Amino acid sequence: MTLFGGVIPVTGISFVLMCVFGILFVGYALGRITIKGVSLGDAGVFVIALVFGALFKDIIFGEGKPMADIFVEALEVIESLGLILFVTSVGFIAGPKFFGNMKRNFKSYVLLGFVIILFGGVSAVACILMGDGIGYGATIENRECFVAMIVGLLSGSLTSTPAFSAAKATVAAEYTSLVSVGHGIAYIFGVIGVVLFVQLIPKLTKADMDAERAKLVQVEEGKVKKAITGLFNIDEHGFAAFALAAVLGTIVGKIKIPLSAAGLDGTCFSLTTTGGCLLVSLILGHFGRVGKVNIMPDTHT
């Protein structure tokens, strides 16, 4: 893109980053718009990204466009980086209380998670079987395309970022874009539906949210955990811990577990990068230190 007859040329990676941060700015601004107490929040970024892709796909990704290859390669890097940043942040936020809550409410959490995943998986399998029986539609070339779309719909409907990454790693390389399409279609309904639901229900039921929040506050019982002294603080901002979780998580996520007699050449299970980063960040967030090295000094004393 050039402005004022070439005086301001914005091309290559600079143009890609300008588009990405422009989407972020407009998306956050949209999310802040409140109508009768209801807003999109961070989901506004996703909405603007979808609109941007729909309106400018031919201009940017069209055949023969000079920016097409750069955009595709750059977006793959941004996607991977974004997924790692997102799930690792979630892990560190949830880590300090995750295992304690799981211990107290293990049966309820496991049962609820199992039911949600079971219903989602059964629905996806049913859709695939229906497609085999009645056809996939005029725009779907073959069964592999249809399955890729369905697994994308499954991960999007569950708003599961690790599942999205796993789905893309499972299908053939030429079908990953269909996973993204399916994920985006279902994800927007899942995210916006949840965002609007949690904001509308209290208004419809006329609930006193301050009183409800007070009920969620739990008083810790027992002795206060003794502070651990003599630790070396590696980074007061937590960037080192984040980097460590990303590195270890990537390695853990790439570990292949064979599921057939063919070994590593057959069907294998792996957590993928996002699943590995989530698991490692949960563990590091829980302990807050590695040996005598304190990696989270602001939350662990």
Q: What is the distance between the alpha carbons of residues 16 and 76, in angstroms, rounded to a whole number?
A: 12
Helices (H), the chain: 12-32, 43-61, 68-104, 106-134, 143-157, 161-170, 176-205, 209-216, 239-253, 272-287
Q: Give percent of the chain with pLDDT exceeding 90.
A: 12
Average pLDDT over residues 269-291: 86
pLDDT at 280: 92
Tokens encoding 213: 């929040």
pLDDT, tens digit, for every residue of 18-33?
888 999 999 999 988 8
What band does 2 get if pLDDT is binned at 50, 70 and 90? low
| pLDDT score recorded for residue 252 | 92
If phi over 0 gives left and psi between -120 and 50 gives alpha, with beta otherwise, what is residue 173?
Answer: alpha
CA 124, distance to chain mean position in Å, is 20
pLDDT, position 62:
58
Q: What is the pLDDT of residue 251?
A: 94
Strand pairing class (293-294; 232-233) = parallel
CA atoms within 13 A on the CB side of 38: 15
* Residues 145 and 136 sit within 8 Å (Cβ to Cβ): yes
Do the Cβ atoms of 160 and 153 come closer than 8 Å? no
What does the CA dihedral 290, 296, 300, 301 come to, rounded to 10 degrees?
90
Instruction: Write the pLDDT tens digit of every residue in 195-223.
Output: 777 777 777 777 777 777 776 665 444 44
pLDDT value at position 171?
Answer: 84
The CA distance from 186 to 13, in Å, is 30
